[in-house]
Amino acid sequence: MDVLETSKLLDEELYSRQLYVLGLPAMQRLQGAKVLLSGLQGLGAEVAKNLVLMGVGSLTLHDPHPTCWSDLAAQFFLSEQDLGKSRAEASQELVARLNRAVQVCIHTGDITEDLLLDFQVVVLTASDLEEQLKVGTLCHKHRVCFLVADTRGLVGQLFCDFGENFTVQDPTGAEPLTAAIQHISQGSPGILTLREEDDLRNFRDVDLVTFSGIEGMVELNGCAPRPIHMQKDGTLEIGDTTTFSCYLRGGAVTEVKRPKTVSHKPLDAALLQPRMVAQSPQEVCRALSLHQAFRALHMFQRLNGHPPKPWDPVDADKVVDLARALKPLRRTDGKPLEEPLDEALVRTVALSSAGGLSPMAVMLGAVAAQEVLKAVSGKFMPLDQWLYFDALDCLPEDGELLPNPEDCSPRGCRYDGQIAVFGAGFQKKLSCQRYLLVGAGAIGCELLKGFALMGLGAASSGGVTVADMDHIERSNLSRQFLFRLQDIGRPKAEVAAEATHRLNSDVKVTPLTDPLDPTTEHIYGDNFFSRVDGVVAAVDSFQARHYVATRCIHYLKPLLEAGMQGTLGSASVFIPHVTEVYKALGTDSEDASAPVCTVRHFPTKVVHTLQWARDEFEGLFRLSAETINRHQQAHTPLVDTSGPQFLTLLQVVLGVLRKRPQTWKDCVVWALGQWQLCFHYGIKQLLRRYPPDKVCKDGARFWSAPKLLPRPLEFDTSQDMHLLYVLAAANLYAQMHGLSGSQDKPALREMLKLLPLPDPQYLASAELDPEQKQGLHKALQVWSVGPPLQPLMFEKDDDSNFHMDFVAAAASLRAQNYGIPPANWTQSKRIVGKIIPAIATTAGAVAGLVGLELYKVVGMPRPLSAFRHSYLRLAENNFSRWIPPAPAVQTFHHVEWTWTCWDRLKVPAGQPERTLKSLLDHLQEKYGLRVKMLLQGSAQLYSVRWSPEKQAQCLSLRVTERVQQVTPCVPKPEQRVLVLELSCEGERDDTTFPPLHYEL
C-alpha cells in the first residue's frame, strides 16, 4: 500500500492535494517546523496565511506596532475595529482559525539571540536595515534559515540565507524519470535500449539510474545507482554487464535523484555582493538598480524618520541622490560591477514607494512562504539569494497621467495604502467596477480577498458576482482561504460571498451556483453581460476556460485568467482589440482516451492499464448491478437482453459462483476467480487468438512494436499486489450484495492458501453456445431472488472504501502482464481521479499577478506594452513575464477593410425586420461581400448551391423566421443578437470572416 496510509499523524484528507506537491517526507518535516515571523502588515499577513494553511508546526508572530489605516489596504486579518491595537495581537486569533492543528503564538518583546535559537526559520517583513543586519548575522551564526521580505508600492524584495552548507534533498520536486526497457546487451559497457523514443530526451541530463522488474538480467534489479552515458544513436551505456545473466524481457530504468548543496552568504556580505535571481542579463541590471533603490529607501528613512511622501518629487530626488552616493556593488569575485545606476527607475520607485498594495503582498508573500517551506523540508531549490519583483508597468506610461501628491495623500480610510500609489481618482474608478469571477476554488478565494482589499466594486454602482457550482470539501481547506470546517458541504459561491463581505462590508458579492456553460446562457446572457465590466476566470479545465473566453470575445469583455498545477502557475490577460484572444491549446487532448482495442488488449503505457482498471470497476460494480436491478424491477428475464457485451457482463458478475453470494468466503472465491480470469486465463485466451509467432499478411510479426507481448501471471498469495486485488475485489463484491466485508489481510492470505484455483469453464467467455446460455439463464434466475444490488459509484477521495485499492491493484497487475512499469498507489489515484496537485503558495502568487493586471484593465485605455502574461515555477525559481501578442490582422483581397478576431459585422434587424435578401444585399453594399453560405450554428440559412426556387423561397423570409424554420431556437425577448457565420466568394482556405451580429 502507498506510504500515505502509514502516517497516523498527518491529516491526509485535508492535505491530499498538497501531498501530491510535497510528498510525505517533506510534509512531515513541515509539520515539525517552528517559524518566527516578524512584521504583520500586508506582506507578513500573506506569509502567515500561507504557512498556516500548508500546516507548519508552529508559527510565532511578532509585531508590537499599532494598526493604522494604511495597513488595511493589504492586511486582511485587521479591520477598522483594530486601529491602534498591536498588529500581532489583533491578528493572532484569525490566523489560528485557518488551521487549528498549527500552534500560533505571539512574541511581544525584542528579537534576541536566545529567542532565535528556538526556531528553524526566521522571516522579517517591514523591518529596517539595521534590524535585518543584526538578526541576519545571528541567524547565520546559529545556522537558522533567514529571510527578508519587503514591498514598497509596486516593487518587492526577497532575500534568503540558508547557511553555508544547506542540503536540498529534492531540487525540482519532479517524480524520478522512469522508462520501459526494450533490451540490454551483455558487454562492457552494456548497452540499454529504451522502448519509447520519446523517453530519450528525458534521460539526456540524468547521470544515475537504477533498475526494476527485469527478467533474465536480474542482477540489475534493485542495484546500487549506476552512471549512464547517452550515445549518439540514442542508446545508453550502463556499465559492465558481461557477467550478468542474459536479458529476457521487461523491466524499467529509473532516475536516481541526488541531493545538492547550496552555500549562502550572510546578509551583510550579500548586501554588497548580491547574487540575483533573474531570467536574463537585462533583468539582472534592473534588479541591481532596484537593490540600490531599496538601500537608498532604508537610508532615507533613517535620516528623515519617515519614508518618502507619496509622489513627492523632492523626496524622490533625495532618494536618487542617496542611491547615487552608495558604494558601488561588487561581483561575487570581488570586482566592481560596471552596470550604471538606472536613476529614472530609482526615482519612480521612490515616488510610488509609500503605498502598500494587496496584489504585491500576495505575490511576494506566496514566494516568501514557499522559501520557508524549502528551508524546513529540503524540497525544491532555494533562491540564490536576492529576488526583486516589480510591477511598475501598472503605472501610466504617459508621465502626464501619473498621480500627483494631492491625489495620493492619506484620506484616513482603508484604501490609503492603495491611494498612495494610484491616487483617490483611481480608487473611485475601482469602486465602480462590476466584475464576474468564475470559480471560487483556491485561486478564486485569493482573488476575492484581493477584490475586498482593493475595494473593487465597493461603490453603490459596483459589485462582484462569483459563479461556482461546486460544494466545499474538507480537502479544500488547506488552500482555499475563505472556507472553514463548518462550511463543508455548502456551496462555494455562497460561502465565498459571505466571507468576502466580512473582509470589506462595502463590497457587494452576488453568488451564483449555476455553471457557466452552454446550458445556462439564459442566465448568463445578454442582459447579464451588459452589466459586467470584466471577467476573471479561475477554473480548472481547458474546456471551462475556453467557454468563458468565447463569452468574453462575444461580449467584448476583458478576461483575466489564472491557473496552477503544483508549483507551476500562470496568469494571462486578454483585452478586446489590444491583445490576442485566449487559445485553449489543451482542449482537444485534455480528456482524450486511448482506443478501446489498445486498452483492452494491447496496452503500452501505464495510463492504458489505469483506464482498463477504471473500466473494470464500472463494469463489475456499477453497470452490472444497475442492469440486474433494472430487469428485476421490470420482471423480465435477464438473458432476454441481446448482445454479447451484456452477456459477458452478467457472466463476470456470477464468476465461478452459481448462486448469489451469502458469505465473505463466497466473495473471496468470486474475487479469486476474477483475478484468474483477468491476469491468467484471459491472457492465455488472447495468446491463443494471437500466438507469439503470429505473422501479419505483410510479413511483419504481429507482436512487434508498439505492441507488447503479454504473459499470464500465476496467482501467488505471497505477492502483496495479488492479495490486495482479491481483498479489494471481494470487499466491493460484498458491498454490492449488502454483505459484510473484511480488512484482515493475514486471515485472507490463509484462506486463499486453502482455496483451489477456479475451473476455467466457469470463467467468462466472449462467445456462448446454446448450452452455456441455458446454464447462465438458470444461474441468473437463482441470482435474481433477493434484495436489489447496490451499484457502487466510484469515489476517489475515500481511501477506506477499497475503490482506489481495486483500481491501483488491477492496473499494477495488468502492467505486470505486459511488462509496463506500473504506477504506485498515489500516482494511480492522481491519474485516475484527474487530481490537480495544488498548494496555497502557487494560488496566492497567480492571484497577485492577476490583481496587478486588473489595475491596468481598470485604468484603460492602456497600450499593449503595459500588459503582461506571467508564468511561474516556484520550485525552480523561474519567474517569467512578457508582453502578450497583438491580435493577428486578417485581410480579404476582394475588399479594402481588415479585421481581427475581436471584430464583428453588425447589422441591425430594423423595424419592420429585414428579410434574408435584404441582409445579403446589405453585406454586399456595405462590405463588398457576396455571400455563398449563411449559417446559424450548424444550420444553413442560405446557400448559393440551392435551386433558384428554394433560394427565392428563403430569401423572402424575415431573418428570424428563417432561423426558426431550420433550428429549434426561438429568439427570446431579452436576446439582443443572433450570431451568424458566413462564407463568401473569393475567400481562401485560411480566411475566417468575423461573426455577423444580427442585432434584434
Nearest to 966 by CA among 933, 940, 995: 940
Identify any residues that bridge with 226 across adjacent strands, giving them in sequence order.
209
Residues recognised as catalytic: 597
Q: Which of 747, 675, 687 is nearest to 715 (CA)?
A: 675
Q: How many residues does the chain have?
A: 1000
Residues 6+ apart with CB under 8 A from 941: 916, 934, 935, 954, 959, 962, 963, 966, 980
Which residues partner with 511 through β-bridges?
466
Q: How far apart are CA 462 and CA 751, in angstroms?
A: 69
Give the closest residue to 28 by CA, choosing from 169, 217, 164. 169
Burial class (CB in 10 A: 0-12, 13-18, 19+), 73: buried
Neighbours of 686 (CB within 10 A): 16
Would you tell me how many other CB atoms lie within 10 Å of the CB of residue 859? 17
**Angle formed by the axes of helices 916-927 and 948-955, to 10°?**
90
Dist CA 251 CA 242 (whole Å) = 18
Would you say 502 and 403 are in contact if contact means Cβ atoms under 8 Å apart? Answer: no
The H or E element that residue 936 is part of is: strand 931-936
- Helix ranges (H only) for 707-769 are 720-736, 745-754
- Cβ neighbour number for residue 336 with a 10 Å cutoff: 10
Instruction: Kindly tell me the burial class for residue 941, based on how many C-beta atoms sit within 10 Å of its own C-beta (0-12, 13-18, 19 or more).
Output: buried
What's the CA gap between 688 and 880, in Å, rounded? 56
C-alpha cell read off for 959: 431573418
**Residue 626 belongs to what H/E stretch?**
helix 624-634
Characterise 891 by phi-psi region: left (phi > 0), alpha (psi -120 to 50), beta (else). beta
What CA–CA distance (Å, rounded) separates 393 from 934?
44
The HSE-up count of residue 401 (CA atoms within 13 Å, CB side) is 10
Q: Which residue has the cell 486498452?
A: 599
The answer for residues whose C-beta is within 8 angstroms of residue 730's C-beta and 6 or more apart is 664, 667, 668, 670, 671, 741, 742, 748
Angle made by CA atoms 652, 658, 659, in degrees to the nearest 5: 105
3-state SS assignment for residue 56 = coil
Contacts with 104 (C-beta within 8 Å, 6 or more apart), sequence order: 52, 58, 59, 60, 61, 92, 95, 96
Q: Is 976 helix (H, G, I), strand (E, B) or coil?
A: coil
What's the CA gap between 803 and 674, in Å, rounded? 16
- What is the separation of C-alpha 927 from the centre of its chain, rounded to a whole number of angstroms? 45
Please give the C-alpha separations between residue 596 and each of 674, 823, 958, in angstroms, as whole numbers: 21, 21, 48
Instruction: Give the span between the Cα atoms of 19 and 982, in whole angstroms.
Output: 51
